[in-house]
Amino acid sequence: MQLTVKTHAQTEMIDLTAQIQKLLSEHGVQEGICMLYVPHTTAAVTINESADPSVREDILMVLNQMVPWKAAYRHAEGNSPAHVKASLMGASQLVRIENGRLALGTWQGIFFCEFDGPRTRKMDVALIAK
């Protein structure tokens, strides 16, 4: 399965937890593993706090400080910082499925990370039933 993700900024974290849980509920998987994979070189997926939106703002602030947009990059496309951030955050995540729910911690959410937007993106979702 694939989710379509419309991003709205150059750098952005979008909470997809509810959409992924909806897919899981529609497919009726009770126990197993949910595999998430981002098939892009300038986007990523991460799991972090979803209760306080300022946490994702702080994560993006630190990433932007660590990886400045302007530097002596060699990649001619001009989006090397987006490639670097994508590798720092990673292209995949695994979440256990328990009683038909994503077994996330109380404060955790699943975030699509855009680093070279705005664009229309994809995220692969594979549900592996036990």
Return residues touching Zn ion (CB under 5 A).
Answer: 77, 79
- Alpha-carbon span 10 to 17, nearest angstrom: 21
Mention every residue, 6+ apart, whose C-beta is less than 8 A from residue 4: 120, 121, 122
User: What contacts 69, CB < 8 A, 6 or more positions away?
Assistant: 81
Q: Which residue, 31 or 77, has its beta carbon nearer to Zn ion?
A: 77
Q: Which is nearer to Zn ion, 46 or 79 (CB)?
A: 79
Closest approach of Zn ion to the CB of residue 75, in Å: 5
Q: Least Å distance between CB 129 and Zn ion?
A: 37
Compare residues 7 and 79 and give the one whose CB is closer to Zn ion: 79
> What is the smallest separation between the CB atom of 21 and Zn ion, expressed in angstroms?
32
CB of 84 to Zn ion, least distance (A): 10
Name which of 16 and 114 has its Cβ closer to Zn ion: 114
Q: Give residue number: closest CB to Zn ion.
A: 77
